[in-house]
Amino acid sequence: MCSGRVDLEYVLRAFSNGMDGVFIGGCRLNECNYITHGNYDALNMVLLCKRIMRHIGLDPERLKIAFMSSADGNLFAETMSAFGSTLKKLGPLGKAEGLDDEELKTRLAEITKLVPYIKLTKFEKLAARLENPEEYDQHFTQDEIERLFDEVVSFYIDPEKCQACLICARRCPVGAISGAKNQIHIIDQEICIKCGTCLEVCPEKFSAVVEISGESAPPPIPEEQRTIVR
């Protein structure tokens, strides 16, 4: 499998399942057999994930990416031996960082839920092609990641403007919007992946969907108040 197909969610899932470390091996940069150069995508994902790991209190050294060819048997052995030694020094996941299992799983679950939002927000940087290793350290900064999570958006359907047209509910990719004919729609914030599809498809003449940054969306109106009287 191309290393470019290793999604951020896969890495977070591995840690959520209790893995002490994650190693990603890719082809040598600029030696892609195709035209995708997915190893650059994998590199960007790892650089981003390391910053996210630090944000939630995990040592970023638990994640490693290395580039080599199938002929680099000795290099692979040396790389894995060194990575194994690093993980041995770090100890079990979460323990060295002072996080109990429940807290760690909660933090990882919160980040995993935001993966679609993170990828949309950082799309350009995740698609960049870093030719110089000196660029790696500052490609994603810790301040940038802190702002990313401080300014997480939420989407809310204004009950005063919703006309129950069902467009947003039909287009939501995860079924987070509930509603019916003549019933004001609401967004389940626990299911919403913050992709913004509802905002994009809501007819301009209604403009019922509101984007909220850095704070929680208002609570949904009670079921008995959702009926629209024409």
How do residues 171-197 score in pLDDT, each as one tens digit?
Answer: 999 999 999 999 999 999 999 989 899
**Structure-token pair, residue 218:** 């208002």
Phi, psi of 184 (to 5 degrees): -55, 130
Cβ atoms within 10 Å, residue 76: 15
Scan for tokens 């679950």, then name that residue.
Answer: 109
Structure confidence at residue 36 (pLDDT)? 86
Structure confidence at residue 35 (pLDDT)? 82
**Structure-token pair, residue 222:** 């009670």
Measure the CA–CA gap between 28 and 81, rounded to whole angstroms.
19
How do residues 24-78 score in pLDDT, each as one tens digit?
Answer: 999 999 988 888 899 999 999 999 999 999 999 999 999 999 999 989 999 999 9
Residue type for position 85: S
CB 22 within 8 A of CB 14: yes
**Structure-token pair, residue 184:** 């004001």
Residues 6+ apart with CB under 8 A from 52: 111, 118, 145
CB 109 within 8 A of CB 16: yes
Domains of the chain: 3-150 (no CATH), 153-225 (3.30.70.20)
Strands 63-67 and 22-26: parallel
Measure the CA–CA gap between 32 and 172, rounded to whole angstroms.
36
Measure the CA–CA gap between 41 and 63, rounded to whole angstroms.
15
How do residues 86-123 score in pLDDT, each as one tens digit?
Answer: 999 999 999 989 999 999 999 999 999 899 899 999 99
Q: Give the residue from 197, 191, 155 showing the smallest Cα distance to 176.
A: 191
Tell whether the model's pLDDT for residue 128 goes beyond 90: yes
Cβ atoms within 10 Å, residue 187: 22
Instruction: Enter the pTM of the model.
Output: 0.86
